[in-house]
Structure formats: structure tokens, C-alpha cells
Amino acid sequence: MRGMRWRRIARQVGRSVAVWAVSTATMLVLAGLLPDFRLQSADGDNVTTIALAAACGAGAFGILSAVVWPLLVRLLLLVPALVLGLLVFFLNGSLLLLALRVNPSGRGEAAPETAVIVAAVMSAVASATGGALAVRDDEAYRRRLHRLATRGRRAHPPCPTAPGLVCVQLDGVGHDVLMNAVREGLMPTVARWLASGGSTHQEPAHQEPTHRLTPWRTDWSSQTGASQLGILHGSNFDVPAFRWYEKDRGEVMVCNRPTSAAELQRRAALRTRDDGLLAVDGASRGNLFSGGAGEQALVLSIATRRRGRDNRSRAGYFAYFSDPANAVRTALSFVAEVAREIGQSTRARLGRQRPRVGRGGLYPLVRAFATVVERDVVVAAVMGDMLAGRTAVYADLVAYDEVAHHSGPHGRDAEQVLRRLDRCLALLERVAEHAPRPYRIVVLSDHGQSPGETFRARYGLTLGDLVRAGCGLPVPRRAEQTHSGAEARAAVRAALRRPVEEKGEHHRPARRREPVVLASGNLGLISFPDVPHRMTKEEIDARHPALLTTLANHPGIGFLLVRSERHGGVVLGAHGAEIPLDRLDEEPGPLARFGPGAADAIRRTHSFPHTADIMVNSAYDPADGEVLAFEEQIGSHGGLGGAQSRPFLLSPVDLTPPAADGTEPVGAERIHRILRRWLDELNGPQVPLTPAAEEEEEGAEEERAA
């Protein structure tokens, strides 16, 4: 044992000396190339003196990077992530200037802007050298990954030998998009797991698949808030959309707003009487909700709490940026991604690509954060969780979803993101080989995305404009001046059997409070805030006789859901279609083109206490899978129609199938029960299902058997 210990020490010393030597050589080369960086006095020095100055400078910089940098990053945890990324170069350059000042040789000088360049190059070279030397030694490689990803966490946690479960959510990647990426060779890691070689990645014929791919169907609200709340906490009841108005509280709820996320998580925990999927030795990374995890990083629902032992939403930044090489690499990638987005958007604009939405302003920075910073930090955090031996990990990678919203779900920009996500999966697979316990890696998505131009681009007005026209309220001039705006006004007049207005006619001011119109992808919600209850069709018709007819007959609207005094709830469509909810299975009407499960999804949403007075789903064309988003997105999700409602579940074959009969799971709550079952299979019973969940599970099994 003592001999092994000394050999490890010797190898570590050897690697440190090698990194020091390479850093010294790098500093000498940069001193020769950069005019504002010198390692000799003004009168000149001999080669030995210059080399000694470089060695001392490289050593001092390495020590400062190892000791001072983590302290600086910890002090900067209160700085927003984007600002921290921009400060990386400045801080690293400052450390180099400090290293030159404390250089024992008394030599070394650099201009501030040159110091930034030298520090970035030296950090990258030192990191690459250390990684190349360590990767040849499995134990050293494991320790290196552990240092980079788990700094600040428990040093020696108890670690069972039973397999752990790592769930990686590829936000917005639909089942069909994943299958196409595998066929095209964009995701070789996934292709290898499925033993399905793409066009550029053929696997041996004898290879057996390690994973199975299962599509599943979302709820009507096909978006991250509803899906992830259901997956992590077992209930997404009363989440009708991404954003909605709650009359009893007089507040707009938005799933990605920290206060709303915290409230939704609280409601789910009360309903299920359960802390969540990750309550037993779990970690939540980059999610909207915690899942009850004890370890949390970049989790939105805890972002509003005071910092304390149970609130570490920013801890992931420290774990990653505490290594200056990581910081420099991510910062360089961030700048490159901004430039890539500007180039891609310029090419789309000059090529008059259709459909297209604006991609200016801060969007290039937002995209770079989602595709670079969030990805790097979350992956590093998951690496740390695996090397720390945690039982359950759930992480969300949002890169594809962000890019597909603005570039389209099938565009070249989105395909490039899929390639990078596949490399992340390959890295996690590699890290699992060095973890102290085996891991089963599950990859899933929370929803897909449906392509199509925006409602505004197609018709020249927003859903809000159309609602105002139907209510007899003034329509903004930009809508009035378009052909579609005229169509909307004509539709209202026809519904009211009134003559077409003449030029110069003025709108009468609204006597009542205006409706609240909110959009969640291609799902729209209309609420009347001055009425304390959910209005019925009869009440809406009495108040605004033309509104429902105007909406239902508009070519961009697929169907409406409203409450009815006579039938409880009805679906409205064009040409006077009005179908009670309990007759939708026999007479789907406008729901026919939206596929199986649409009626059940609508009936469930109708039962929510905070469902809007009028729920609006945009039109859907089954021929091309396109919908019309009420937001400015050419890849959208949030309602029914197309690929947005069909995400995927990629699971190891040594876990039981998601559904015993091979049917597609329906609803995010069902995915929660599947993941919990797998945790029980791997580690014994976790937190037991509540009686209500057990009854629902038994009912689902009986229904499938029937």
C-alpha cells in the first residue's frame, strides 16, 4: 500500500512538472510573438535568465490560478452568469499581471490587453496538457474530473453499489427529430445505443442495442413547465399553459418566473403529499423545479429564496468556473456562438428565408448562454454527481429548444446543436466508467416542436388584436392597415349582422375592463378579469356577441374550449360546430385532425380551476405538420398539433419497458411513475406513491388490459 501511495505521488509530481514545463515554453513563445509582453529587462538578458523568468512566471501564475481563482469566483457568485462570463478574461489577465509582479526573477512585463491574451492561452494549454497526461491514468482521470466538477461538495459520501439513475432532458427534441438525427448520422452516440447506424456512422451488425426508444404524448399544455412539473413532482394539475391569469389572485402565472415556479412546486407537493422524484439522495440541475433534490444547481424554483444551506441554485457556476481553463474555454465558445448566431441570422435575412422571425437585440447573447454556458455548467454538475455517487440525477439541456424556436426545428442551426448534445451524452457515458457505482442513463424530452409561421405573419394581426376586434375594442393601427386586419373587422361585422364601417368612423371606448390575452406557443388563453368566476359560453355571448363566432370562424384558429351552462363544457369550431365534451369521442368535429388523445387532454384541462374563460388552439395542417404560433416563434410548442405533443423516452433495455403492453405513455405524470418504478428496481422502494397515485396507476393498468 505504501509503495502504491508513493507511486501515485510520483506520478502526480511528474504531471505537475510536465504542465509547468509546457506552461513555461508557452510563455516563452508568447513573449517572442507579442510585442507588449516581455520577460527580460530593457537592456536585454541571456537565454538562461529569460528562461528562469518564464519558469518563475509560469509557476506563479499556476499557483495563483489554483489558489486565488476559486476565491474570486466564489466572491462573484452574486454576479449574473452573463456578466461573469464577460469578466473571465479580465480576471485571468489580472492574475497574470500579479504573477509577473511577484516573479522572483524581478523580470516580466505585459500591457493589460496583452496579459488577457497570454493568460487565456496559458490556461488553455495547461488544462490540455494536464488532461492529456491524466487521461492515460484511469485513477488520475477520475480524480481530475472529480476536482473539476465537484469542488465544494461532500468529499467522501456514502455510496451504495446498486446502480444510480441519470436522466438527461433534451429540451424540445421531439421523437421524430431524434429519429431523423440518428438516420442522418447527427447523433452517433444515440445511434450506437439503439444499434442503428446513421449515414455516417455504421455499427457492426452483431451489436445489440443497449437502449429502447419510446414515444409518449404530452398533456394539452405541451411545454416545459407542465411536463417537468409532472415528471419531477408527479402532478401538473391546474397548469393549463405556460402562462395564464388566475382570477382569485389577480396574477399572471408564468412557468419560468421564479415566484411562479416556487408556487407551482408547492402546489404539486401539497397535492401529492410527496417531495418529488429526487427526494432520496438526488440532484436537480438546470431545471425549473427541484424534484425534492438535496443538491440543486441552476434550479429556478429556489432562485428567490435567501441563500443558505438548502439554496445552492448558483453552486453549479462555482463548481465549473472555479477552474480558469473551464472559464476561458466557455468564454471563447460563448463569443464564437454569438458570432455564429449573427452570421446565421444574417444569412437567413439576406436569403429571404421563410418563415423567419427577428433574431436581433439580446437574442444572440441569450442563445449563447443556453447553448454554451448552461450546457457546460449543467454537464459539469452531472459529472460531479456521478463521481460523487448520487442515486438520482435529473438535468435539463435547453440548447435545442432555444435555437429551434428562432431557426426552426428542422433547420441546419438546430442540427448543429443536436451534434453537440450528442457529444455531451458521450462524455457522460465516459464519466460513468469512472464513477464509484454503475449508472443507467435515461435520455428524454419534455415536448417536441411543431414548425410553422407565426399567426401574426400569416394574418397581419395578433391573437390579442383579433380578440379586441371581436369585443368591439379599438384595434391597433398596424392591424387595421393590413388586409388581415380588415378581414377580422369584416368577420366581426358579419357575426353581428352590422354594415361595414365607413372611413372616419371612430371606435367607442370600452366600458368594461379589457380581456387578458396570453399566448403559450400555439395555445391562447383569454380571461375577463372583472368576472370572478370562469365565464360560460352564454355569459360571453351576452357580453360580446361576436367574439366566439369571430374566433371560431377565423382560418388561423383550430378550435375553442369554453364552459357551458347546458353541457358543462363545449368545443367550438368553424361553421357553427359546437360539441359537448362528453360527445367528443363519437363526434370529434374540429378535433379530428389533432389525432388520438386530443379529447382526453381537453377534458382534463377543462377540469382545472384556473382554466381560462376561452382556450384557443391555433389551426393545424396534418399534411405538413405546421401550426401557427401566437408568439414570435417559427418552431413552437404549448398546445395541440403535430410533433410538439410527441416527445421521446430513451431508456436502457435492462430496465422494464415503460408500458408492459407497448402502448405510448400518456401525460407527464405517467412518466413520473415510470421513472419512480425504475428507481425502485435499481435501489429498492423510494418514497411510496400516494394513495391517489396508486389508484390512478391501477386504473391505467386496468384500462390497458381492457
Dihedral pair phi/psi, residue 501, rounded to 5°: -70, 150
**Lookup: cell for 271:** 397535492
SS (H, E, C) 649-680: EEEECCCCCCCCCCCCCECHHHHHHHHHHHHH
Residue range 192-218: mean pLDDT, rounded: 75
Strands (E), 50-163: 109-110
Most confident of 62-71, 481-490, 547-556: 547-556
Which pLDDT band, with edges at 50, 70 and 90, does 152 fall under? Answer: very low
Which pLDDT band, with edges at 50, 70 and 90, does 169 fall under? Answer: very high
What digits encode the pLDDT tens for the residues 322-358? Answer: 666 676 677 778 888 889 888 888 888 887 778 878 8
The pLDDT value recorded for residue 619 is 96
- Give the count of beta carbons closer than 10 Å to the beta carbon of residue 477: 9
Which pLDDT band, with edges at 50, 70 and 90, does 121 fall under? Answer: low
**Lookup: cell for 345:** 441570422
Determine the 3-state secondary structure of 510 from DSSP.
coil
The pLDDT value recorded for residue 626 is 96
- Give the count of beta carbons closer than 10 Å to the beta carbon of residue 554: 23
Residue range 39-46: mean pLDDT, rounded: 56
Cell 440548447 -> residue? 399
**Lookup: cell for 267:** 402546489
Determine the 3-state secondary structure of 518 from DSSP.
strand
Give CA 173 to chain center in angstroms: 10
Strands (E), 83-177: 109-110, 164-170
Please name the amino acid found at residue 46.
Answer: N
SS (H, E, C) 558-594: EEEEEEECCCEEEEECHHHCEEEHHHCCCCCHHHHHH
β-bridge pairing 109-110 and 620-621? unpaired
Cell 449543467 -> residue? 378
Which pLDDT band, with edges at 50, 70 and 90, does 59 fall under? Answer: low
Asked whether the beta carbons of 337 and 325 are under 8 A apart, the reply is: no
Farthest CA pair distance, the chain? 98
Please name the amino acid found at residue 648.
Answer: F
The pLDDT value recorded for residue 16 is 63
105: closest CA among 56, 169, 166?
56
Res. 600: pLDDT tops 60:
yes
Please name the amino acid found at residue 131.
Answer: G
CA–CA gap between residue 573 and residue 161 (Å, rounded): 57
Asked whether the beta carbons of 114 and 34 are under 8 A apart, the reply is: yes
Residue range 4-17: mean pLDDT, rounded: 62
Give CA 147 to chain center in angstroms: 26
66-71: Cβ within 8 A, 24+ apart? 68/95, 68/98, 69/95, 69/322, 69/323, 69/324, 70/151, 70/318, 70/322
User: Which fold would CATH assign to domain 161-233+315-451+647-705?
Assistant: Alkaline Phosphatase, subunit A (3.40.720)
N- to C-terminal Cα separation, the chain: 63
CA–CA gap between residue 242 and residue 252 (Å, rounded): 10
Which run of H or E residues covers position 346? helix 324-350
Determine the 3-state secondary structure of 171 from DSSP.
coil
Asked whether the beta carbons of 480 and 432 are under 8 A apart, the reply is: no
Determine the 3-state secondary structure of 148 from DSSP.
helix
561: closest CA among 613, 519, 517?
613
**Lookup: cell for 520:** 403559450
Residues of the chain with pLDDT > 70, as a percent, come to 65
What digits encode the pLDDT tens for the residues 123-132? Answer: 555 555 554 4
Residue range 190-209: mean pLDDT, rounded: 68
**Lookup: cell for 558:** 383550430
Establish whether the linkage from the previous residue to 355 is cis, with ω within 30° of 0: yes
Determine the 3-state secondary structure of 123 from DSSP.
helix
Please name the amino acid found at residue 459.
Answer: Y
CA–CA gap between residue 403 and residue 421 (Å, rounded): 13
**Lookup: cell for 257:** 418566473
CA–CA gap between residue 108 and residue 54 (Å, rounded): 8
CA–CA gap between residue 551 and residue 320 (Å, rounded): 50
Residues carrying CATH 3.40.720, the chain: 161-233+315-451+647-705
Compute CA distances 678 → 338, 446, 628, 674, whole Å.
Answer: 40, 18, 38, 6
Cell 441552476 -> residue? 298
Burial class (CB in 10 A: 0-12, 13-18, 19+), 222: buried
Q: Count how many Cα atoms sit within 13 Å of the Cα of residue 320 in the half-sphere of its side chain.
A: 31
What digits encode the pLDDT tens for the residues 468-496? Answer: 999 988 877 665 544 444 544 554 545 55
689: closest CA among 703, 393, 700?
700
196 vs 194: which has the higher pLDDT: 194
Q: Which of 5-9, 492-496, 510-514 has the lowest mean pLDDT?
A: 492-496
Provide the 8-state DSSP code for 324: H
Asked whether the beta carbons of 569 and 581 are under 8 A apart, the reply is: yes
Angle at 401 between CA 398 and CA 406, to 5 degrees: 130
Q: What is the DSSP string of 220-279?
A: SS-SHHHHHHHHHHS--TT--SSEEEETTTTEEEETTSHHHHHHHHHHHHHHHTS--TTT
Beta bridge partners of 210: none
The pLDDT value recorded for residue 503 is 44
**Lookup: cell for 379:** 454537464
Res. 138: pLDDT tops 60:
no
Strands (E), 303-345: none
Residues of the chain with pLDDT > 90, as a percent, come to 49
Res. 544: pLDDT tops 70:
yes
Cell 402565472 -> residue? 253
- In whole numbers, what is the pLDDT of the chain averaged over residues? 79
411: closest CA among 334, 455, 351, 461?
351
Res. 236: pLDDT tops 60:
yes
Provide the 8-state DSSP code for 435: S
Beta bridge partners of 212: 651
Provide the 8-state DSSP code for 628: -
Which pLDDT band, with edges at 50, 70 and 90, does 245 fall under? Answer: very high
What digits encode the pLDDT tens for the residues 68-85? Answer: 555 555 555 444 444 454
Q: With a threshold of 0.85, does the pTM exceed it?
A: no
Q: Which of 48-57, 143-152, 593-602 has the lowest mean pLDDT?
A: 143-152
Residue range 57-76: mean pLDDT, rounded: 58
CA–CA gap between residue 617 and residue 630 (Å, rounded): 9
